DNA sequence: CTTAAAGTAGACCAGTCAGTCTATTGCTTT
DNA sequence: AAAGCAATAGACTGACTGGTCTACTTTAAG
């Protein structure tokens, strides 16, 4: 398995289609068509559609984690600013996809975690990795005294990820980023507020 | 169209299967099998699968709205207590379905709002109706002085619905209601906190 | 130059999908 | 009793599903 170009093309097209239509609604033939790869190659690189789906998740998680690191662990920027930048990037992405795509991991979590334990485990791991990135950013904020320390950063990270995923879902059905803005506003006003001295 | 028993059976089975597997993964034949209704009857009551899906949404929204009213608009109970009862009911339901089902409207919103504008509109309306229920409950709380008035009840309602839906999604992939508890805790501690006098 | 493996290519398979069609049953109104 | 409609019943259709199979081409090693 040396030539990864074809494999990469398959994963790219797959990620795009699955983002738009979901896993079940995306047929293998459709993936093959959009990237001009014959079926023989598909089953040379992947043992099944599930195997392919897991590869799509893995690839997305890996590349997205780089984005996340550059946004949330940039020590040149104050931690709360980094968070705001992260939210802004999410809103921008929502605009770019015309409020249709949202978050691939969130979508698949909703669609597949009741259907397959393998998928659920994979998606859960991705969420946990993301939460860890938030935790570090929040620890920085607490260390600098930007936010109160009475709530554990782990709890805050879970709260933020959870709320943000929900806001993305709501933004999709509303076709507007308003819920994402509203979440951010209240979060910074009342949860990540400066501690009273 | 007098006999609604068969129609109801179809919708019931459909709601159950769609809750578990999603809309695209649920075939009409599977619905027919689980309730022992022949295909002829299905297409007698519904013009297409989409038509059927919309009927499932409508029925669910209607019956669930009754639950919502009894939980959130019961004037014998303090408004914040009503909210807590609502969250508790949600967690209980999550346990009952072994963390697999979650919220039918949330699931379909994720799966279909990028796929069909008809579905998106229908689901959006349901969300907006729910938000209104929260708004009234929060207005009560503000009127009683239980929570601060510096944030509009509409904004709070959006924040709560959004966060709760996200918590449900996260609970599904984690197979644990912990994210739902965490959301509730931080919400009451820092967002729906008693106003300082 | 030979040979084996990696990779490409697409015809083909059984099964399933949403949806159609015709036939029949049961009830209601005349 | 007759007519007409609501509803039941399920065989059937063409399109499409994930997956298999065989044949061919390219690459690399000995």
How far out from the chain centre does Cα A189 lie? Answer: 24
Answer yes or no: are the C-beta atoms of B196 and A193 closer than 8 Å: no
Q: Are the beta carbons of A159 and B110 separated by less than 8 Å?
A: no
CA dist., res. B118 & res. B122, Å (int): 6
Q: With 90 as the cut, is the pLDDT of residue B4 above it?
A: no
What is the 3-state secondary structure of chain A?
CCCCHHHHHHHHHHHHHHHHHCCCCCCHHHHHHHHCCCHHHHHHHCCCHHHHHHHHHHHHHHHHHHHHHHHHCCCCCCHHHHHHHHHHHHHHHHHHCCCCCCCHHHHHHHHHCCCCHHHHHHHHHHHHHHHHHHHHHHHHHHHCCCCCCCCCHHHHHHHHHHHHHHHHHHHHHHCCCHHHHHHHHHHHHHHCCCCCC
Residue from the list A25, A110, A175 with its beta carbon closest to the beta carbon of B169 = A110
Measure A38 CA to D24 C1' (Å): 13
**How many Å apart are A37 CA and C9 C1'?**
9
Which bases along strand D come within 7 Å of a protein CB atom? 6-12, 16-23
Give the residue ranges of DSSP H helices in B73-188: 79-96, 104-112, 117-143, 153-174, 178-186
* Per-residue pLDDT at A196: 73
In chain B, residues under CATH classification 1.10.357.10 are: 48-191
pLDDT given at position B1:
45
List per-residue pLDDT tens for chain A, 197 residues long.
456 899 999 999 999 999 999 999 999 999 999 999 999 999 999 999 999 999 999 999 999 999 999 999 999 999 999 999 999 999 999 999 999 999 999 999 999 998 899 999 999 999 999 999 999 999 999 999 999 999 999 999 999 999 999 999 999 999 999 999 999 999 999 999 988 76
Question: What is the CATH number that goes with domain A48-191?
Answer: 1.10.357.10
Rounded to whole angstroms, the Cα distance separating B183 from B168 reads: 10
- CA–CA dist B94, B96 (Å, integer): 5
Q: Phi and psi dihedrals of B67, rounded to 5?
A: -55, -45
Confidence (pLDDT) at A39: 95
Measured CA to CA, the distance from residue A191 to residue B186 in angstroms comes to 8
A-B CB pairs within 8 A amount to: 159
H or E segment to which residue B41 belongs: helix B39-45
Q: Model confidence over A71-95: pLDDT tens digits?
A: 999 999 999 999 999 999 999 999 9
Task: Find out whether A140 and A159 touch, Cβ atoms under 8 Å.
Answer: no
Interface subset of B 97-156, CB within 8 angstroms of A: 100-102, 106-107, 109-111, 113-115, 120, 123-124, 127, 151, 155-156
| Angstroms from B23 CA to nearest CA on chain A | 9
Farthest CA pair distance, chain B: 66
What pLDDT, on the 0 to 100 scale, is given for residue A49? 97
Average pLDDT over residues B26-55: 96
User: What is the reported pLDDT for A1?
Assistant: 46
The whole-number pLDDT of residue A10 equals 97
The answer to whether A30 faces chain B, any CB pair under 8 Å, is: no
In this prediction, residue B7 carries a pLDDT of 95
Q: How would you class A138 by CB atoms within 10 Å of its CB: exposed for 0-12, middle for 13-18, buried for 19 or more? A: buried
Do A115 and B190 lie within an 8 Å CB cutoff? Answer: no
Contacts of B172 in chain A (CB under 8 A): 109-110, 113-114, 120
User: Would an 8 Å CB–CB cutoff place A194 in contact with chain B?
Assistant: no
**Tens of pLDDT, residues B141-197:** 999 999 999 999 999 999 999 999 999 999 999 999 999 999 999 999 999 998 876
Residue range B1-46 forms a domain whose CATH class is mainly alpha
CA distance B127 to chain A (A): 8
Q: Gap from B61 CA to D6 C1', in Å?
A: 28
**Facing B127 at nearest CB: one of A161, A170, A190:** A170
Ranges in chain A annotated CATH 1.10.10.60: 1-46
pLDDT digits (tens, 9 = 90+) for B56-114: 999 999 999 999 999 999 999 999 999 999 999 999 999 999 999 999 999 999 999 98
Separation between the CA of A38 and the C1’ of C10 (whole angstroms): 7
B185 contacts A113? CB cut-off 8 A: no
Q: For a pLDDT cut of 70, what percent of chain B falls above it?
A: 98
């Amino acid at each position: 398995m040396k030539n990864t170009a074809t494999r990469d093309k398959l994963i790219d097209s797959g990620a795009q289609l699955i983002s738009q239509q979901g896993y079940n609604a995306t047929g293998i033939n459709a993936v093959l068509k959009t990237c001009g790869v014959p079926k023989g190659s598909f089953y040379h690189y992947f043992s099944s559609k599930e195997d392919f789906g897991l590869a799509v998740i893995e690839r997305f998680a890996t590349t997205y984690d780089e984005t996340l690191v550059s946004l949330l662990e940039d020590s040149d920027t104050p931690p709360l600013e980094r968070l705001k930048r992260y939210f802004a990037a999410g809103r921008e992405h929502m605009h770019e996809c015309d409020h249709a795509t949202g978050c691939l991991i969130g979508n698949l979590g909703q669609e597949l975690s009741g259907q397959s334990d393998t998928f659920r485990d994979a998606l859960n791991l991705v969420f946990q990795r993301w939460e860890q990135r938030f935790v570090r950013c929040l620890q920085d904020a607490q260390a600098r005294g930007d936010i109160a320390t009475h709530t554990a950063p782990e709890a805050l990270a879970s709260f933020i990820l959870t709320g943000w995923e929900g806001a993305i879902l709501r933004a999709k059905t509303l076709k507007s980023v308003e819920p994402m803005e509203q979440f951010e506003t209240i979060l910074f006003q009342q949860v990540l507020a400066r501690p009273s001295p």
